[in-house]
């Protein structure tokens, strides 16, 4: 476990927000049976958790900027540091009473992820990392899986839904993945998907249509666990591109090859 002052600040802030979110999650099952449904309640829970995180982080590190899922961009007097905060990654899971969601807080320094905390308050799993200090799940050091064969590997992904994303491109890319990977899973939380690859629970992950707050913490955790991450075209700034492809060195490389085969026009344009 990392016990630096920065990590203490981040975990303390997340702990405070998690208490609120966990209480609210306990109400979701009851709200499912109402005619109105839990949507408004979940939005309020999301905003409340974000307010708690922002207040705690501002107090501990005054001057740092923010990129918030709900609150947008807040410029700080310290232009080199920005928090990327998702108070509830996996909102649809939360809304339906599925216990797979997380609070994600990542710190960017000069455009690069340097620290991350991703916490699932239901499973009580803390994924943490600080640049140069490794990545951990609670007290266990993390390392990406070492598999070198796609036909034994599990791939995580995101699926574009109604009103979101390029469905035709996703189906084309998925058809290429299906004939290469042993299994494909869609879990509903980008932050946890990155952490699951870092922990060796999955071998690869690819998704488009993301935001920096979905990824900043998870990217730091993944890379500190020995993982490789890029955007699906191979660019080195997935958080900026809003899309990610990742795995160990071998599987990441093979994943990019599959994506190029699935998108020959884009590959030719980039050549």
The sheet carrying 243-247 orders its strands as 183-185, 154-157, 204-208, 243-247, 228-230
Please tell me whether 214 is known to bind a ligand. yes
- Degrees to nearest 5, angle at CA 190 with 188 and 192: 90
Is 89 marked within a binding site?
Answer: yes
The set of residues, in sequence order, having a beta carbon less than 8 Å from that of 61 and lying 6+ positions away, is 9, 81, 83
SS3 track for 34-102: CCCCCHHHHHHHHHHHHHHHHHHHHHHCCCEEEEECCCEEECCCEEEEEEEEEEEECHHHHHCCCCCCE
Q: Is 5 helix (H, G, I), strand (E, B) or coil?
A: helix
Binding-site residues for Mg(2+), in ranges, read: 69, 86, 88-89, 214
Binding-site residues, in ranges, read: 69, 86, 88-89, 214
């Amino acid at each position: 476990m990392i016990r630096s002052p920065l990590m203490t600040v981040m975990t303390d802030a997340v702990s405070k927000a998690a208490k609120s979110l966990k209480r609210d999650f306990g109400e979701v099952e009851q709200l499912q049976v109402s005619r109105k449904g839990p949507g408004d309640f979940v939005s309020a829970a999301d905003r409340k958790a974000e307010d708690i995180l922002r207040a705690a982080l501002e107090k501990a590190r005054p001057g740092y900027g923010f990129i918030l899922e709900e609150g947008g961009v807040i410029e700080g007097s310290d232009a080199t540091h920005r928090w990327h905060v998702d108070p509830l990654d996996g909102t649809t899971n939360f809304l339906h009473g599925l216990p797979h969601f997380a609070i994600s807080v990542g710190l960017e320094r000069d455009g690069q992820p340097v620290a991350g905390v991703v916490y699932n308050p239901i499973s009580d799993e803390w994924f943490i990392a600080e640049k140069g200090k490794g990545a951990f799940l609670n007290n266990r050091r993390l390392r990406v899986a070492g598999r070198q064969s796609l036909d034994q590997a599990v791939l995580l992904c995101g699926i574009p839904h109604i009103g979101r994303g390029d469905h035709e491109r996703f189906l084309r890319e998925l058809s290429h993945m299906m004939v290469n990977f042993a299994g494909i899973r869609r879990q509903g939380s980008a932050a946890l998907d990155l952490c699951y690859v870092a922990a060796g629970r999955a071998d690869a992950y690819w998704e488009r249509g993301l935001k920096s707050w979905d990824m900043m913490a998870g990217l730091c955790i993944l890379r500190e666990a020995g993982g490789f991450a890029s955007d699906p075209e191979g660019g080195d700034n997935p958080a900026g591109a809003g899309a990610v492809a990742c795995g160990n060195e071998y599987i990441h490389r093979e994943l990019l090859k599959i994506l190029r085969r699935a998108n020959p026009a884009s590959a030719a344009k980039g050549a």
